Amino acid sequence: NAGVTQTPKFQVLKTGQSMTLQCAQDMNHNSMYWYRQDPGMGLRLIYYSASEGTTDKGEVPNGYNVSRLNKREFSLRLESAAPSQTSVYFCASSERQSSYNEQFFGPGTRLTVL
């Protein structure tokens, strides 16, 4: 099993460009999450999907949209990238939407917006 995979690993964008970050998991997990990690700050939740067909905002959703394409895949879209969105983005999944379930993380996407 690959676990949680993310593409791309690295990306450089110009201000105003758009892009979609892809995430897939092969563990048959119900819940999936998108985080961003900035220096000196903890991971912050952008959006999450408790189950296929549902999505909800997290702590920092502005400037992002998500799609839960199916049970395996959860994508994050930046419609008009801004330098403030320069960050490392992690996707995670868990078996079900429970505070006691371990979250498994993908390797991350390092995004730079110029």
Partner 1 sequence: RKEVEQDPGPFNVPEGATVAFNCTYSNSASQSFFWYRQDCRKEPKLLMSVYSSGNEDGRFTAQLNRASQYISLLIRDSKLSDSATYLCVVNPLPSSNTGKLIFGQGTTLQVKP
| Count, residues near partner 1 per rule CB under 8 A | 26
Contact call for residue 89 and partner 1 (CB under 8 A): no
| Residues 6 or more apart whose Cβ sits within 8 Å of residue 16 | 80, 81
Q: Give the contact letters, 52-81, x = binds to partner 1 (CB under 8 A), - = no.
A: ------x-----------------------
Answer for the pair 4, 104: CB distance below 8 angstroms, yes or no: yes
Stretch that binds partner 1, among 18-26, 30-38, 64-72, 73-81 (CB under 8 A): 30-38
Contact positions toward partner 1, by CB under 8 A? 31, 33, 35, 40-45, 48, 50, 58, 90, 94, 96-103, 105-108
